[in-house]
Amino acid sequence: MNNKIEIFDTTLRDGEQVPGCKLNVREKIEIARQLEQLGVDVIEAGFPISSPGDFKSVKEISQSVTIPIVCALSRAIKKDIEIAAESIKSAKRQRLHTGIGTSEFHIRYKFNSTSEKIIENAIAAVKYAKSFVEDVEFYAEDAGRTDNEFLARVCESVIKAGATVLNIPDTTGYCLTEEYGKKILYLKENVKGIHKAILSTHCHNDLGLATANSLGGIIHGARQVECTINGLGERAGNTSLEEIVMIVKKHRSLRLYTNIKSELLCPTSWLVYERTGMYVQANKAIVGDNAFAHSSGIHQDGLIKKRETYEILSPKEVGVKESSIVLTARSGRAALAYRFKKMGYTFSKKDLNLIYPIFLEHADKKKEVHNEDLKIILKTANFITNL
Ligand code: KIV
Ligand code: ZN
């Protein structure tokens, strides 16, 4: 089996669906160009039928990038597919993404339909999409809660109709990791013609399992991951691109790889945060402000002696200049001496023992002790005369 994991970025579609996250066309193009630099394989640029503005963005993104495939989303509805096809017409590499809900919830309550009719609609949508482009991805919405046997029938039918990629979304983020992995394996083993299509993961984070489930999917044979920068997306979000990419990169035993230039991960995260205004939590893996910040004395001492003691990633690897040692009331003498050295001061053990209690007194009053505070401490302890 091929070991490359295709990265399908849906920041501009699923990510932009988030309440409060609105991007204008210029901002979307800027992000799309950054995603191209980052090395994503597919950019899902939007859902063109949803609004004239979205149509315009997909059209302009199609003209603005050349390396990644530009993908447009549609429902299994003729008009949707036509508009989506029109929006990506000028893209160098085009993909249509169409699909329909396949779980009991969707079939019975959303569509008031039957399993057989859903299969018919799915086949018709793929065939219609195929009349516009060669590369057609099919999504079985709520595949996470769809019976595996029925899902396999749907997949087999759409492959026959010409689907090149099968998206197996855990739309509600419900699946357990093992369950989702086994679903992918079941499809690999039970769908006739599966070798003609790529299986794709699309996991939502409602239970905080999106990245783990995508990993479960690729371990069991999926070769495309749908994900977003900073994990943006409906409700609790999607699989975070930076997390899945670094898991694949760090765990060589998986024998998988992506095309992503990891040193652009944080700069891309910062751009998406700035343009969308969607705040990234400080303790977010890889891209959060605290991802490379060390504040407890025990950790700081270990890190100063050998970085790998407390860091499995090098900050440079993901585009951060360096780790930071944050001075707080939990910091020890090692961190204090380290910071002083960076400021150009070296103290004997005896002197440091004199300064340390004054530092602690100061630190107990503040969240973080900065260089300016340290200068005041040194003056108080009569180690420097002017500031
Ligand atoms: O979560 C989902 O099922 C989706 C589909 C439209 C692909 O976003
Ligand atoms: Zn989704």
Cβ of 139 closer than 6 Å to ligand 1, yes or no, is: yes
CA gap 210, 236 in Å, rounded: 9
User: Tell me, what's the pLDDT at 9?
Assistant: 99
Paired tokens of 225: 């991951």
Residue nearest ligand 1's atom 6 by CA: 141
Average pLDDT, rounded, for the chain: 96
CA gap 14, 225 in Å, rounded: 14
CA gap 92, 7 in Å, rounded: 18
pLDDT band at 367 (very low <50, low <70, confident <90, very high): confident
Residue 373: is it exposed, middle or buried by C-beta count within 10 angstroms (0-12/13-18/19+)?
middle
pLDDT, tens digit, for every residue of 319-347? 999 999 999 999 999 999 999 999 999 99
pLDDT at 22 over 90: no
Instruction: Tell me how far the alpha carbon of residue 220 lies from the centroid of ligand 2, in angstroms.
Output: 21
Cβ of 57 closer than 6 Å to ligand 1, yes or no, is: no
CA gap 163, 107 in Å, rounded: 21
* Residue recorded with tokens 């997306």: 233
Considering every ligand atom, which ligand is closest to the CA of 71?
A: 1
Instruction: Tell me how far the alpha carbon of residue 138 lies from the centroid of ligand 2, in angstroms.
Output: 13
What domains lie within the chain, and their CATH numbers?
A: 6-276 (3.20.20.70), 293-380 (no CATH)
pLDDT at 385 over 70: no
Cβ of 202 closer than 6 Å to ligand 1, yes or no, is: yes
One-letter amino acid of 273: Y
Instruction: Tell if the pTM clears 0.75, that is, is over it.
Output: yes
Cβ of 14 closer than 6 Å to ligand 1, yes or no, is: yes
For residues 143 and 170, the answer to whether their CB atoms sit within 8 Å is yes
Instruction: Tell me how far the alpha carbon of residue 66 lies from the centroid of ligand 1, in angstroms.
Output: 25
Instruction: Tell me how far the alpha carbon of residue 77 lies from the centroid of ligand 2, in angstroms.
Output: 18
Least Cα distance to 228 among 23, 53, 367, 84 occurs for 23
pLDDT at 387 over 60: no
